[in-house]
Structure formats: structure tokens, C-alpha cells
Amino acid sequence: MKSKGCLEYESYENLLQLIKTLVAYCKSDKDIETPLGIVEVATKYCYKKDAVTYRFLIDDIGMAEIWNNKNIWHRAFNQTMVNSMKEIYGKFYSLQLPTIWKGWNQQQQAKYREKEENSLVTTLHMIAKNMKIIGVSNKIIYEVLEDCESTVHASSEIKSVISNVVKIILENDSSLIH
């Protein structure tokens, strides 16, 4: 991991307690962004334990019973996909999108469909990577990704790409955090 900031031990402990409070808050049904934000912060801040050892927040968070809660990751996936769709469709993103879609020719539809599929692969990759970094078991990661993938309509080629991305993440977990 690349450190964004090396903290004094007391500051590190204070930040760790704040992060643990936020992790507990992740169980809230209204929380969507917090898990991904926690992983981002927790992989960047550390304290220097001795001359050669750094301790990152991610190493001390724990709280597996919360991180293994599938609903946390489903909410993060859903919100990320909504944000992606807003970005992809811009001014067209509304309740009228299905009607607008039908009015587009096949080339326009194909262009947007490709962006949607890329967004799906990127989002599932990000969710899986964050789950792996935080220490969620491979079994839970597979279950969450399968559930997320089943909620969207994607071609068999895209589903194959997703499976390969997930396999790479789960097999190469040590390279994710460096």
C-alpha cells in the first residue's frame, strides 16, 4: 500500500476508533457510500511502528461480522451503478429513458450498451477488490457478486468477463494491497 499519511500513534488510534464507528454505521439501511470510503481511507493512513514496520488502519479495523453483511455491499453496488447510469446517459437519465431508448437506432443503443457493460464490469471489479482488501471471505465475495450480477441484464460474453475478473481478484489478493 502507498501511504498517504503517516500518523502519530495517538492520532492513528483516534482515527481507528472513528473508522470503527463508521464500520458499525455501515449496517444502517440508508448507508451506501461508507464502506467504499472506509476502505479508501483505511488503506492510505498508517503509523510507523518501528524503523521498518508500518501499521495501516486496514490492518486493525476487524469487525468481520459487519463486513460479511451482504446488504452493505449490495447497497454499494446499486448506488455505484445508479451513479454510472447517470454519468453514461446524462440528460437522458430519467423515467423516460425506456421510451427514449426505443427511439434510438441500433448504433446509438450499441454505444450506450457498451458503456453500460463496461460500467458493470468496472463496478463489480471495484466491489470485489474492496471486499478482498477488507478481508471478506471468498465465499461471501462470490455470493455478493453473483447476486449483484443477477440483478442486471448482461450478455453471456460480459458475464464471462466478469467471472474472469472476479477469479483474478480472488486468486491474486496479495497484489491488490500493494
Q: pLDDT, tens digit, for every residue of 92-137? A: 988 888 899 999 999 999 999 889 888 888 888 888 888 888 788 8
pLDDT at residue 88 is higher than 90: yes
- Are 129 and 169 in contact by the 8 Å Cβ rule? The answer is yes
Residues in the chain: 178
Return the higher-pLDDT residue of 86 and 26.
86
pLDDT at 46 over 60: yes
Query: How does 59-93 read in b/e, with b if 16+ C-beta sit within 10 Å?
Result: eebeeeebbbbeebbbbbbeebbeebbeebbeeee
If 0-12 CB within 10 Å is exposed, 13-18 middle and 19+ buried, where does residue 42 land? buried
